[in-house]
Amino acid sequence: MAENTILLECDTRIARPGQTVAGEALWDLQDDPETIQINLGWYTEGKGTRDEELVETIMVNNPGTIGKQTFSFVMPEGPLSCSGRLISFLWGIECSLKKGKDKAFRPLILTHGEAEIDISKTTYESEIKSLSVRPSR
């Protein structure tokens, strides 16, 4: 028995706020699904409870067992992508069946620069070393 295949292609890995991110979802499925969803969203990883938010969803109704759908999303102002020792804010686009575990995921970095913001201790280590607190005498 063949397995379900869902592919997700995207025109970029790094996006800036306000930028349009476009791509295409492709699928080859065993059974005819009612709906396929293409979601843009962010989530947290790290200590504590995972938070997540779907920013925008494209619903493909009656998609058939084999098909494709183009998509485009305008990236919001934030939260910007960042990684640290305690928490990370991560972005991505996901294509999934409304019911079932089959999905494809494409990570994105939302930033004003060329990479996600590093909020780990090592980023600020040199600044911390230059500050010293000494007890008054």
pLDDT digit string, tens, across residues 46-59: 988 999 999 999 99
Q: Contact, 29 vs 101, CB < 8 A?
A: no
- Count Cβ atoms below 10 Å from residue 14 Cβ, excluding itself: 15
Domain that holds residue 124: 5-130
- Does 137 map to a domain? no
Please indicate, yes or no, if residue 42 is contained in any of the structural domains: yes
| 104 assigned to some structural domain | yes
Could you read off the pLDDT of 116-137 as tens digits, one per residue? 999 885 555 544 444 444 455 5
**Do the domain assignments include residue 110?**
yes
If you average pLDDT over every residue of the chain, what do you get?
Answer: 87
Query: CATH number, domain at 113?
Result: 2.60.40.640
**How high is the pLDDT of residue 60?**
96
The count of structural domains within the chain is 1
Tokens 């934030």, residue?
78
Whether 135 is covered by a domain: the verdict is no
